[in-house]
Amino acid sequence: MYVRKNLRFGVVWALSWRSLLLFTIYDSLVCLAYEFWHVHWIDIPWGGVATLGTAVAFYIGFKSNGSYDRFWEGRQLWGTIVNVSRIWSIRVFHFVEPMAGDRLPDYEDLRDLHHRLLYRQIAWVNALRLHLRRQTAELWDTDVAPFLDPNEDADVRRMSNPPTHLLRQQSDELRQLHQRGLLTEFRHVAMMDTIQDMFNAQGGCERIKNTPFPRQYAFFSFLFVWIFALVLPLGLVGEFSKLGPNHIWLMVPFAVLVSGVFNTIETVGHISENPFENQMNDVPMTAICRSIEIDLRELLAETRLPAKIEPIDDVLF
């Protein structure tokens, strides 16, 4: 996610220079054909071009809104994951304890139990991030395995959907704790509700990831913008020629500017379609996971904590 208040010129230029170059060449050729080669039949009425531009503006606006909705829903889902992780940790500390009259396990055993439940939660958020970005094979050993028991790690990593199996492990452990008398029935149900919230958030993320933006909207938005860019100088060339000698060349920067604006809107919508691809404008899942890890490990009274993820070239991943 780009975090700087204003886009750097280099970022804007990297996204637009190719299209601006093509627009400049094409619009200049239209001027040459009209002014020097006297190909006046290419001049078309401006009214038709303006009508087309209005229709294209509505269409790419619809696409941009749809793309932003996908990004914002993804960010909301990860905000839910942050809150649910904190709720889970507090319930682990306050709910998982011996009931009155039961034998109290020694302090180290109870602390280890809390440690395991919270570390598995950290493993889950990281596994979900890698699962959404299709990076499980490359980063599992460094981002997930350190938070799991070696036997559990070996079982989970071979699954097609590791986050789901980690939540199942949490559920199994809650059942065992209830049977051992470390969870009342009410507390067991409350913690299972928290796991349900995690499943809902994970399912929402997977829905966005596995359902691409409708290709008919994406394709025709791109196509209509370029059709408009091709027609625009044909409608402007005659209008600018009426301004006087040599004024026709003013059509080139004006047409490039208008075409560039339309193309930029379309491009912004395109790069916002999939918020879990680890790109510049995506949900910063790595930073969110690190924030969750720091929060939960601080609750475990750990002092050797990892540093927060900092932006790289104004981009937070």
pLDDT reported for residue 279: 84
Exposure on the CB side of residue 101, measured as CA atoms within 13 A:
1
Q: Distance (Å, rounded) from C-alpha 81 to C-alpha 74?
A: 11
Quick one: tokens of 159?
Answer: 């699954």
Token look-up 């966005």 returns 208
Point out which residues pair with 140 in neighbouring strands. Answer: none
b/e 241-274 (16+ beta carbons within 10 angstroms → b): beeeeeebeebbeebbebbbebbbbbbbbbebbb
- Spatial neighbors of 188 by CB under 8 A, at least 6 apart, are 174, 175, 177, 178
- Supply the pLDDT for residue 9: 78
Taking the C-alpha atoms of residue 87 and residue 157, their distance in angstroms, rounded to an integer, is 26
Length, in residues, of the chain: 317
Chunked into runs of 10 residues, the chain (317 residues) has average pLDDT values of 75 85 93 83 87 90 88 95 96 82 60 92 96 92 94 92 96 90 90 96 95 84 92 88 80 92 87 85 92 95 90 80
pTM of the model: 0.87
How far is residue 261's CA from residue 82's CA, in Å, rounded to a whole number?
37
**Alpha helical stretches, state H, the chain:** 9-35, 46-95, 107-133, 136-143, 150-157, 162-180, 185-210, 215-241, 251-271, 285-299
Q: In whole angstroms, give the CA distance from residue 37 to residue 272.
A: 43
Q: Cβ distance 59 to 228 under 8 Å?
A: no
Task: Please state, in angstroms and rounded to a whole number, the distance separating the CA atoms of residues 296 and 139.
Answer: 21
Q: Which of 266, 267, 314 has the alpha carbon at shortest distance from 1?
A: 314
Measured from the Cβ of residue 50, the count of other Cβ atoms closer than 10 Å reads 12
pLDDT digits (tens, 9 = 90+) for 206-259: 999 998 888 888 888 889 999 999 999 998 888 888 887 778 888 999 999 999
Q: 251-271 vs 46-95: helix axis angle to the nearest 10?
A: 30
Q: What pLDDT, on the 0 to 100 scale, is given for residue 312?
A: 83
Euclidean distance between CA atoms 49 and 34, whole angstroms: 18
d(CA 249, CA 216) in angstroms, rounded, equals 37
Contact 317, 286 (CB under 8 A): yes
Question: In 3-state terms, what secondary structure has residue 182?
Answer: coil
